[in-house]
A and B are shown apart, each in its own frame.
Chain A
């Protein structure tokens, strides 16, 4: 896996993510969010997990981003006025980041480079989903159904 691609994708992803976190306009933030997730998907491709990458794009860019955008539209009147910035969070974030980086660098005994790996085909994943992971799959199905119904119930017009 080429370092060029890695650097490019990393820069893209992190920049987009940072923009998503800090841009004053919610819409731009949402779009950058989608972009950063495309970047994450690209990472997955780079790491040889194509299926996951596709699912990532599919779910986040296709569905979640659209959902966010729709929510922004429905709460439009509240979007314009700026809610300000909570600076206390920055300190915490920096602390956590420092901690994480320290931990990562401290733990040296990790595989230096990736062993060559046979690409994980969709067929294998599907078979795994249907054999070893069938119960998680069912649970996720139930969860999604519940989430769907719950979301519908939440946004129903309450009768007055």
Chain B
């Protein structure tokens, strides 16, 4: 029974595929891919809708308001209303704009976000596109976001868009290194670039209570935090939403977009958020594994989406809490703190491994990380002087 509920979607897909069993295999492949894609889109579009309204309500609570509560029960239909509004808005394209690029940008950015979502294991045997080296695929696709952002900025031929795009690219490029290097320890420890293998490696529990998630190792914890912060940047969320800082450059590379294209950008941002959270869950939070042994009767995908929800909540929470960070601060933070810490994580993971993956290893890596952290903070504080504010990336 438990297995049935756990595998229900897998079985369903098998059923549907059995209908085209007779057809040539390329047709079967196409059908299964289509099924995966539709599933992905359905799930995540719903999730997007829910998340948008959820975000607004949580922000409202944080700011001591009520938030949307008119449309439908508890304002749950709010996103539908927003969607309709967006659809019927006029789609303005600037006269001097580079039409093709301007048109392609939002499509590309959304498409890459969806692609990135494709390799995450959502449950037992529930990886839409289980390719060898899926992690690499994830980041390869994610890295194309910058190009699309640039297209948006350039295409709309607008000062603010250009500035926003440049800022976005600058910070994305800077934070991609920590983002990827914090994945290295996991890949080293598991010895595989396949998300399923990584999730499988995190199964099991110590003393029956403590799951073998990498976030519970010192290097894993640090790497997770670094990864999460870099993820914030990659999906342009506060406090790193300099590129679309409404108060400085109207909306960055989205300035010249309106109507459905703007909605697409919005959607892409949320999908990016989901993708980063999903990858974080896969890499550090044990994927679809249950946190405690006796909770395993709950289906795996339920656990995955529960964790996803928690991470989304943290995203929103941070947005509601922290102010925006200055551009130069963002860059300094990336190059002077995140990157060294990420490398330190790699070394810490190596220590952990060679000390036998036990308490000794944990202590060693913890000590090493603390050491590096002290050194870094000392170094940064030494170099700190409160110079007048400069727009280095926006001249």
Contact = CB atoms under 8 A, between A and B. Distances in A.
B137 A61 contact: no
A86 to B, nearest CB: 25
A77 interface: no
Contacts of A73: 162, 166
Interface in B147-181: 147, 150-151, 154, 162, 166, 169, 173, 176
A27 B144 contact: no
Given A50-B133, A54-B137, A69 B147 contact: yes
A21 interface: no
Contacts of B139: 58, 62
B302 interface: no
A53 to B, nearest CB: 9
Nearest to B151: A31
A2 B151 CA distance: 33
A61 B145 CA distance: 10
Contact of A58 (B26, B136, B154, B169): B136
Given A27-B98, A28-B101, A57-B140, A69 B132 contact: no
B143 interface: yes
The size class of the interface chain B forms with chain A is: 20 to 34
Given A27-B98, A70-B169, A122-B192, A62 B136 contact: no
Interface in A8-56: 25, 27-28, 31, 34, 50-51, 54-55
The size class of the interface chain A forms with chain B is: 20 to 34
Nearest to A120: B132
B131 A50 contact: yes
Nearest to B162: A73
A129 to B, nearest CB: 13
Q: Is the interface of B mostly helix, strand, loop or mixed?
A: helix
A28 B162 CA distance: 16
Interface string B86-101: 0000000000001011
Nearest to A67: B173
A122 B136 CA distance: 10
B146 interface: yes
A58 B169 CA distance: 15
B341 interface: no
A31 B105 CA distance: 11
B144 A50 contact: no
Contacts of A108: none
A61 B194 CA distance: 22
Contacts of B154: 27, 69
A27 B101 contact: yes
Interface of A: 2, 25, 27-28, 31, 34, 50-51, 54-55, 57-58, 61-63, 65-66, 69-70, 73, 119, 121-123
Given A50-B133, A51-B133, A119-B132, 12 more contacts: A25-B98, A28-B98, A28-B100, A50-B132, A51-B136, A58-B143, A62-B144, A69-B147, A73-B162, A122-B136, A122-B194, A123-B191
Q: Which 5 A-B pairs have the closest CB atoms?
A: A62-B143, A58-B140, A57-B140, A54-B136, A122-B133
